[in-house]
Amino acid sequence: MANSKVAGQIDVTAKANDFGAEIGGIDLAAGVSEAAVKAIHAAIIGHKVLVFRDQQLDDESHFAFAECFGPLEGHINVSTRLENLPKMQSFGNLDATGKPTGVHPEGGTLVWHTDKSYVARPSLFTILRSPFVAKEGGETCFADMQRAYESLDAARAERLQGLRAVHDWKRSREKSDERAATAAEIAAAPPVDHPLVRTHPDTGARTLYIGNHASHILGQERAEGEALLADLERHATQDQFIYRHSWRDNDVLMWDNRCTIHCVMPYDAARERRVVCRAVVQGDRPV
Ligand SMILES: [Fe+2]
């Protein structure tokens, strides 16, 4: 792992293949300077996923940190919004008395996806902390969609050019065996289409833009598009493209949704306590 100091503000220790980095030398709860925001931004552009250890964020300081990177957006699943900070979201497997329910909420998090790709301007960065961390399982896995794209053979990559995938919240819920989308959610998030290969606006790199919210390919037979998406996901989630994050208490994760997909690994929801809280920065229309 290479270690470097960026702009005199933060320590950046890269993980394998430069995919992911641990960030040290900063206390996010204390407020983050403009120079530190720039350094963190440079780090996430370079490494796609950042891990901050030993942070003491609460909902308010979490919100304030996330907002340094742009306007935040609420989730269309209003049941998970925080009452006092509706642009933030929290969910876990605990009942009102703090006991595990035996059910992992939001089954869509257990399958590979990129956040909110079912809207016209999908999420840019997601910033996640976990007030209750599962002791076994519950890791968050990330796949590097730039390296996955770059490893395709030229003929296969060529066949993807110009294709657009339809991303659909309603269909995504069906595929992940979640409760059906509500009428309000369907109205708020009708199907949209995005390029299957998108260009990262900061790096110019091309990335695969896929995941569970992608339902089929525009203009293709549904089954053909589904098969193509499944095949690309199999390719992109091979071990060599993965960073698997094992949570410790007081970790904060931040990732770039434009060039990664992620999912949660299973855990024993009847025994473990697992709660996450997240803030999401609005992104731009993929090109
Ligand atoms: Fe997610």
Domain ranges, ordered by start, for the chain: 3-280
Count Cβ atoms below 10 Å from residue 195 Cβ, excluding itself.
18
CA of 81 to the centre of ligand 1 (A): 15
What percentage of the chain carries pLDDT values higher than 90? 84
CA of 235 to the centre of ligand 1 (A): 20
Question: Given this model, what pLDDT does residue 7 score?
Answer: 47
Q: Please give the average per-residue pLDDT across 94-112, as a whole number.
A: 91
CA of 112 to the centre of ligand 1 (A): 8
CA of 91 to the centre of ligand 1 (A): 12
CA of 155 to the centre of ligand 1 (A): 31
User: 11-42: per-residue pLDDT in tens?
Assistant: 999 999 999 999 999 999 999 999 999 999 99
Domain 3-280, CATH: 3.60.130.10
Place of tokens 């091309």: 206
CA of 161 to the centre of ligand 1 (A): 26
CA of 214 to the centre of ligand 1 (A): 14
Give ion ligand 1 contacts, CB < 5 A. 115
Cα–Cα dist 123/188, whole Å? 15
CA of 7 to the centre of ligand 1 (A): 30
User: 139-175: per-residue pLDDT in tens?
Assistant: 999 999 999 999 999 999 999 999 999 999 999 998 8
Q: Which two tokens stand for residue 192?
A: 């949209």
Element (H, E) at 154: helix 154-160
- Strand blocks (E) in 57-156: 88-92, 125-132, 140-144
C-alpha pair distances (Å), 99 with each of 83, 95, 137, 274: 21, 5, 18, 10
Q: How far apart are the first and last CA of the chain?
A: 33
CA of 204 to the centre of ligand 1 (A): 24
